[in-house]
Chain A
Amino acid sequence: MRKIQLIAQRELKERISSRSFLLTALLGPLFVLGLVYALFSLGGSEKQHWNVLIMDKTEIMENKIAPKQDPRFTFHFINEFVEYDQFATLEQFKDYDLAVLINEKIISNKQVIVSYRELPSESIQRRLIYHVERRFEEIMVKQFTDLEVSKFREIKQSMNFSFKNTSDPKNEINHKAAWVGYVFGIGILLFVFLFGMTILRGVAHEKSNRVVEVLLASVHPRQLLTGKVIGVGVTALVQFVLWGLIIGVGLYLFRQTFFPDLLDPTLLVEQMSQDVAQQALDKFALTARNYNDFVDLVYRDIHFTNMLLFFVLFFLGAYFFYGSFFAMIGSAMGSESDGQQYIIPISIVLVLSILSGYYVIYHPQTSLAEILGYLPFTSPVVMMIELSRGFSEGDVWKIYFSLFLIFLAGFILFRLAGRIYKNGILQFGHRLKFRLIIRWLKIS
């Protein structure tokens, strides 16, 4: 164990002190932050104006809404209830972007359902809530109290708004969340490829400069391989931590400095709730142009704790799994350039894994998607997608089972890699052929 630790420490020190590590650790996250900044700054594709249909069967709102006009909304009233699918498909409703359902018992149950064709941003949602709530404050004060509106506001109960996709009211299709998982999954594969190549180059280099023979006189080949894989793996984790810290601090600073109002809609609503509402509306109209889906994605939709935890776990599984392949090739190479041809098939498998994720985003309920979630080649991407979509309570076992499978496959492959490493590491000058690898596999 001590020897494995020494080898891992050496690997870690060498990798961390290398210029490429520092460049990747600094430039990588800065590049990501630059991209995020650009996407925040460029603003989005969000609609500038929303047509809102208020379905108020009992006419409790009396076909009225906020006293002052909001340039972002045009409100229309209808005195009947329209089903989701009707709202989604009927020609007469196609010009409405949002439908607000005011149910008959709203005074007591405080439930408001908003169905949308395109998900409004957090700020637009807040604005809509603001308008509807203000109207109900007026109604409540008028009908049930002798209080001033401002006094009533202090004691009132908030209403519960739920936003539902008109074509997916049960929220079964969540592509945006799936894309978040996809990005995390691709991140896993990219890191696995990056650090897998580090293993391959390290093994091939030790072999070609013959330092390996000196090492093997002190340690068992399997210890040497284990130490190397652990060392490079820990390097990857250090890289993750640095990326996480830099990106985390960057996003925090974005929120605090560059885009404070943009990213804190509650602040705007608070402002609006006071008598300076119109002023705020004007200000908001300017800043809201920049508000887009991406902001929601970064600050609202990503459950960083869960995603990062499983990102690391799936990375480790995939790293052992794919890293074993890279170690096999590195140790079996007859010369330092010999194994390049074998990197192509691994790269193809990695690309196929990325494509499989794309398939799962659009065909989530298929049996193929289920299988891809368990295959060690594809499970890191597929399971990150599934995780970002969310598992129902009864399905949580799937992610743990998938993790178990990838670690099991990684362990088996690592054992086989150890066998090839042991038999191939001291063979020089040959041309690497598949037949040779099979032969080395047979020798225990």
Chain B
Amino acid sequence: MLQLEGIYKSYYRQKVLEDVSFDVPSGQIIGLLGPNGAGKTTLIRIINQIIEPDKGYLSLNGKRMTSEHLKNIGYLPEERGLYKTMTVENHALFLGQLRGLPKNDVQKQLDYWLEKFEIQGWRKKRIEELSKGMAQKVQFICTVLHDPDLLILDEPFSGFDPINVDLIRAELNAFRVAGKTIILSTHNMKSVEEICDRAVLIDKGKKIMEGAIHDIRSENKEGVFSITFTGNMIAFATALWAGYEIISKEVHNDTTFTVYLKMRGENEFNDLLTTLLPAVKIISAQEVLPSMEDVFMKKINAGKEVEHA
């Protein structure tokens, strides 16, 4: 769907993006991750053609991107605003038409989304009459009004209550099912795990990691297993001897526990189960993959260490 090839961007001799390349396949949700100041917003602005790269190019569906492609893109920036004195309807008409949609089509799309979000009564309200969350919803509607193939959302969940977060999340999934592509820039790693198919991690203007979410977590696993069992904790600990290292435990009640451990030496998962089965009753046992937050922290900190070294 979207290819970025060797993107460079500097501001006043300060490199903001350096040789960033990645592909965004169709029908997937891509998490664009990185700490503050990593260059995510600059990259998003380049994709939206708000600014031009110093070097490199972008292509959409195999064709070099031009301003013509803008009508296929929907963009919800992190710092988003609306004209406070305009009504919801006029705002939607203005932004929809700017994206190249005829007036009648904007009206139809607006009807559809207002009905879908059950907010038909807002149509004639001025933006300044809406709460922050309500305005966020209007912004989301204005972003998707022209039915874009590529959606770029910068922190789309900020400002929403949990109910509306679920609502927006459901809509994003529906877009994915409909074959749309979504680039999601967020610091909320839980969201990334839950809804993203892939992720690209950027730090200090460079791409430092890219891949499917499961692959990223698997590649960064550290051999930690979790065992949930009923029985005696002492019997459990005694059964494990020098070949295992208990990292932490959770006590559910007097007889039920979850223990996180690492294996030492040549031991494998089967050996662990063989050792424990005679001592306790195992409820569940699995390898623990690191959270995206753990991976994120690990990669960013690794970068800092290299820098200090």
Contacts and interface: CB of A to CB of B under 8 A. Distances in A.
B79 A210 contact: yes
A6 B80 contact: no
Interface string A106-117: 000000000000
B142 interface: yes
A64 interface: no
Interface string A17-30: 01000000000000
Contacts of A210: 77, 79-81
Interface in A212-266: 212-220
Interface string B46-77: 00111100000000000000010010010111
Nearest to A14: B85
Contact of A217 (B12, B70, B86, B94): B70
A3 interface: yes
A331 to B, nearest CB: 14
Contacts, number: 59
A220 B75 CA distance: 15
Contact of A426 (B50, B73, B142): B50
A24 to B, nearest CB: 17
Contacts of A426: 45, 50-51
B99 interface: yes
B81 A209 contact: yes
A214 B80 contact: yes
Interface string A149-169: 000000000000000000000
A211 interface: yes
A69 B51 CA distance: 85
B167 interface: no
B136 to A, nearest CB: 13
Nearest to B83: A211
Nearest to A220: B67
A14 B86 contact: yes
Contacts of A214: 75-77, 80-81, 95, 139, 142
Nearest to B146: A218
A10 interface: yes
A213 B94 contact: no
- Most chain B CB atoms below 10 A, which of A213, A426, A439: A213
B98 interface: yes
A3 B84 CA distance: 21
A404 to B, nearest CB: 33
A6 B106 CA distance: 14
B66 to A, nearest CB: 12
Contacts of B76: 214
A18 B98 CA distance: 23
B94 A6 contact: yes
Contacts of B256: none
B26 interface: no
B97 A6 contact: yes
Contacts of B73: 217
B92 to A, nearest CB: 12
B302 interface: no
Contacts of B50: 213, 216-217, 426
Interface string B101-143: 0000000000000000000000000000000000000010010
B298 to A, nearest CB: 31
B70 A211 contact: no
A220 B68 CA distance: 12
Given A217-B73, A426-B51, A439-B12, A6 B86 contact: no
Contacts of B75: 214, 217
A7 B51 CA distance: 20
B45 A3 contact: no
B170 interface: no
Nearest to A221: B50
Nearest to B42: A426
A426 B95 CA distance: 19
- Most chain A CB atoms below 10 A, which of B50, B76, B80: B50
Interface string A293-324: 00000000000000000000000000000000
A217 B70 CA distance: 7
Given A14-B83, A210-B77, A210-B80, A215 B98 contact: yes
A211 B82 CA distance: 5
A133 B73 CA distance: 84
Contacts of A439: 12
Contacts of A3: 98
Contacts of B97: 6
B39 to A, nearest CB: 14
A285 to B, nearest CB: 58
Interface in A4-20: 6-7, 10, 14, 18
Nearest to A18: B85
A213 B77 contact: yes
B269 to A, nearest CB: 49
Contacts of A220: 67
Nearest to A13: B90
A107 B49 CA distance: 84
Interface in B184-215: none
Contacts of B139: 214
B77 A218 contact: no
A216 B51 CA distance: 9
A425 to B, nearest CB: 9
A213 B79 contact: yes
Nearest to B12: A439
A209 B84 contact: yes
Nearest to B85: A14
Contacts of B95: 214, 218
Given A218-B70, A219-B98, 9 more contacts: A6-B94, A7-B98, A18-B85, A213-B45, A216-B48, A217-B48, A217-B70, A426-B45, A439-B12
Interface of B: 12, 45, 48-51, 67, 70, 73, 75-77, 79-86, 94-95, 97-99, 139, 142
12 contacts: A3-B98, A6-B98, A14-B83, A211-B81, A213-B45, A213-B79, A214-B76, A214-B142, A216-B48, A217-B49, A217-B77, A218-B99
Task: List the 3 closest A-B pairs by CB distance, nearest first.
Answer: A209-B81, A211-B81, A210-B79
